[in-house]
Amino acid sequence: MTSINVHGLTVAYHRKPVLSDVTFELPKGVIIGILGPNGAGKTTLMKAILGLVQRSTGEVSVLGEAYSPKSNKVGYVPQRGTVDWDFPTDALDVVRMGRYRHTGWFRLPSKKDTVMALDCLKQVGMEGFAGRQISQLSGGQQQRVFLARALAQDTEVYFMDEPFAGVDAATEKSIIALLTELKDQGKTVLVVHHDLQTVTDYFDWTLLLNRRVIACGPTEEVFTTENLRSTYGGKLAFLDKIGSR
Ligand code: ADP
């Protein structure tokens, strides 16, 4: 069975097309990289699948069902933006928000939810920060808290938009280990990322995107010079470095 099916997806902002007739199918239980230059529509694609973009046409399904934001089947780590909330919210509160689909918005989290949220903080190496105000954490630490929040959602599919942005090399390694663990549990992880080397080394599938789908399939098949040229256009200097075929 496939994890995500997208057929004929077209998105426009202010009547300017951003994604045109995007069609692809992704398998289950793999890590998939979405790659493309800035402005290629990678974030828009994730948001459109999640029903967060108003002006879109086409068909989208997640795990065989039309996706609705309320179904909450996808744990989502949005693109990083520094959190500067001026109301008191600690890291544990943020992670427990991931449990609301289990508790409902207007119920207090149970002890089990708290235990699970603490475990998710531990998985991202942030167990010592549970009581810290989110606005006082660094960008990389906030990123890890949002990753923990997605883990707390305990879904079959995860979308992560640049999860390595602003984290150091050691944290990046531990996040990759975490993604691999999710995959080993049969979960599907879709990651917007820009480092071709990481994608070649760790991601099973790749979707090359530049406003339309350039290629989608197992990473070793997709990473051809021709496909990468079509995706990145003239910005080819870096291709030599990754030893593409
Ligand atoms: P990527 O994630 O690949 O960098 P995005 O999906 O963020 O690309 O953006 C694709 C294009 O859509 C860009 O030209 C961007 O400026 C535009 N865009 C993104 N979000 C909006 C928005 N909310 N309103 C108008 N234009 C947008």
- Rounded distance between C-alpha atoms, residue 200 and residue 10, angstroms: 28
Which DSSP category does 132 fall into?
S
Quick check: 5 and 179 in contact, CB under 8 A? no
Alpha carbon nearest to ligand 1 atom 15, residue: 39
**Residue 18 CA to ligand 1 centre (angstroms):** 7
Which DSSP category does 155 fall into?
-
Task: Summarize pLDDT for 143-167 with one digit per residue, the tens.
Answer: 899 999 999 999 999 999 999 887 8
Q: Where are the beta strands (DSSP E) in 101-225?
A: 157-161, 188-192, 205-209, 213-218
Grade residue 131 by pLDDT with cuts at 50, 70 and 90. Answer: very high
Tokens of 129: 């920060």
Instruction: Specify the pLDDT at position 105.
Output: 57
Quick check: 80 and 29 in contact, CB under 8 A? no
Instruction: Specify the pLDDT at position 83.
Output: 65
| Amino acid at position 108, single letter | L
Question: How far does the chain reach from its first CA to its final CA, in angstroms?
Answer: 30
Of ligand 1's listed atoms, the one at least distance from the Cα of 14 is 25
Q: Which residues' Cβ are closer than 6 Å to ligand 1?
A: 13, 18, 36, 38-44
Q: Is the pLDDT of residue 238 over 60?
A: no
Nearest CA to 203 out of 34, 23, 24 is that of 34
Alpha carbon nearest to ligand 1 atom 21, residue: 13
Higher pLDDT: 34 or 68? It is 34
Task: Summarize pLDDT for 172-190 with one digit per residue, the tens.
Answer: 898 999 999 999 999 999 9
Residue entry with tokens 């602003």: 166
Grade residue 235 by pLDDT with cuts at 50, 70 and 90. Answer: low
Quick check: 105 and 158 in contact, CB under 8 A? no
Of ligand 1's listed atoms, the one at least distance from the Cα of 192 is 2
Domain ranges of the chain: 83-154
pLDDT, average across residues 100-129:
84
- Rounded distance between C-alpha atoms, residue 245 and residue 242, angstroms: 9
Q: Is the pLDDT of residue 205 over 50?
A: yes
pLDDT, average across residues 7-34:
95
Angle (nearest 5°) at CA 29 between 26 and 30: 65
Quick check: 177 and 5 in contact, CB under 8 A? no
Q: Where are the beta strands (DSSP E) in the chain?
A: 2-13, 16-27, 31-35, 56-62, 65-66, 74-77, 157-161, 188-192, 205-209, 213-218
Task: Summarize pLDDT for 54-80 with one digit per residue, the tens.
Answer: 778 999 999 998 877 677 789 999 887
Of 79-83, 165-169, 219-223, minimum mean pLDDT range = 79-83
pTM for this one?
0.90
**Residue 39 CA to ligand 1 centre (angstroms):** 6
Instruction: Specify the pLDDT at position 244.
Output: 43
